[in-house]
Amino acid sequence: MLIETFIRKQLRLKAHRVTKVESGGDRMMIAIDRLGNRQLRCGVCRRRCRQVHSVRKEREWRDLSMRQMPLILRYQPRRVQCRRCGVRVEDVPWAEPWARVTRALAHAVARLGRELSWQGTARQYGLNWKTVAGIVQRAVRYGLRNRKRPPVHWIGIDEVSRRKGQVYLTVVYDLERRVLLWVGEDRTEEAVKKFFTQELGKRRCATLQVVCMDMWAAYVNLVREHAPQARILFDRFHIVKHLQEAVDEVRRSEMRRLTGQEKVTFKRTRWLLLKNPWNLTHEQKERLSTLVRWNSPIVRAYYLKESFQLFWEYKQEKRAQDLLCKWMRSAMCSRLEPFKKFVRMLRSHLSGILPWTKLRLSNGAVEGMNNKIKSISHRSFGFRNAQYFIAAIYHGCARLPLPEEI
């Protein structure tokens, strides 16, 4: 088979043909022309058109490489007279309108872009970063338009911070299918409302049963307004995080108070206090018990943290509530300001904490995806633009369908 025929078949050309293939240094140039009088399609509505209006100047498209040699397609697109749309540039079968790469290359780039950073993907295909960004954005737009939207029952709302907590994104997961549903800028009521009104809409909001989230008023208000039938469950991992922050704050304020010699002993105790005791090594246990003998605020904080964790084991709501109330009373008597703050937060959110005894659901189910988002954010120094970051998150976590190869 001639290489011209091979390429024509690969590109599935019907109204076009390959006229010449020549190597141009480090690239392979493929000249394409119209095939006889076959009808071309309108670039807007894709209908066949009888009349060709004019010939435009030559354009180039990058295709996949053949043995390291990038293939370049060259063609002079025709303008056709469409009965519906008027005079339009024809639809070329190998590329999206205005794209400068072929569908096959775009597909390969989009696939690799799920595994590698955009820089890495660009390097692999000898493209620049912007081209990859454009391809991924188009793939995401296509995927969002064409993805299946089955009813959702359990969702988790979470926030992702960029640039050390100055900028926030909100992400929403389907906890049943473990897939990202939505990501948007900011974490305000106004911004996240779009998830309920645009992505879900009234009908799909009505099937929500549980919404798992941090104790964050904006999210609570939104659920109450748009899915009043759904139960709010404050996420275990967020509650534990707040608890650990309280321990940490006590430790830090103690450190400030200590004298030089005492400080040396207490250095590097942060992980001793935050870790689960059964994960400590023998030597770490020794150090912890010294710590326990020495300093009472840190010890009180440590015991409070450990005794709170019992809550997660309970299955009867009444008993869990008794335990929690007892715990909150002792925390209030601890003279530790960070813990008092934590108790006040628990008190005003109890109705969303106790359902844990029955629901046993948490955003921990999608922790892997949260980590993936973190690594997307780390490996991409670019992303000054939130839209790129959002596209990368959708691309990596939403399991969107990709545009077809041909």
Under the rule (CB under 5 A), what is the footprint of Zn ion? 42, 44-45, 82, 84-85
Beta strand pairing status for 154-162 and 210-213? parallel
Distance from chain centroid for Cα 193: 18
Best CA proximity match to 250, nearest among 268, 230, 273: 273
Cβ nearer to Zn ion, comparing 44 with 365: 44
The residue length of the chain stands at 406
Neighbouring CB atoms inside 10 A of 1's CB total: 7
Closer CB to Zn ion, residue 14 or residue 358?
14
Spatial separation of the C-alpha atoms in residues 302 and 232, rounded to whole Å:
29
Nearest alpha-carbon partner for 159 in 185, 197, 190, 196: 185
3-state secondary structure (DSSP) of residue 101: strand
- Please report the sign of the dihedral spanned by the C-alpha atoms of residue 257, residue 262, residue 263, residue 267: negative
**Residue whose entry in the numeric block shows the structure tokens 């008092």:** 340
Toward Zn ion, which CB reaches closer, 45 or 217? 45
Under 8 Å between Cβ of 74 and 32: yes
Q: Classify residue 364 by burial, with Cβ atoms within 10 Å: 0-12, 13-18, 19+.
A: middle
CB of 42 to Zn ion, least distance (A): 3
Least distance CB 400 / Zn ion (angstroms): 28
Q: How far is the CB of 78 from Zn ion (least distance, A)?
A: 13
CB of 358 to Zn ion, least distance (A): 57
- In angstroms, what is the minimal distance from the CB of 51 to Zn ion? 12
**Closest separation between CB of residue 100 and Zn ion, Å?**
22
- Closest among 207, 198, 296, 307 to 254, alpha carbons compared: 296
Nearest to 244 by CA among 304, 331, 311, 333: 304
Dig out the tokens for 35 from the structure.
Answer: 């095939």
Q: Please, which residue, 42 or 192, has the CB nearer to Zn ion?
A: 42
Number of H helices, E strands in the chain: 18, 14
Query: Smallest gap, in angstroms, from Cβ of residue 91 to Zn ion?
Result: 9
Query: Rounded CA gap, 388 and 181, in Å?
Result: 17
Minimum separation from the CB atom of position 41 to Zn ion (A)? 8
Using DSSP's 3-state secondary structure scheme, residue 1 falls into coil
* Residue type for position 399: R
**Element holding 293 (H helix, E strand):** helix 282-294
Closest distance to Zn ion from the beta carbon of 101 (Å): 24
- Min dist. Cβ of residue 74 to Zn ion (A): 25
Backbone φ, ψ for residue 86 (5° rounding): 90, -155
Rounded CA separation 159/147 (Å): 23
Nearest to 89 by CA among 35, 131, 46, 50: 46
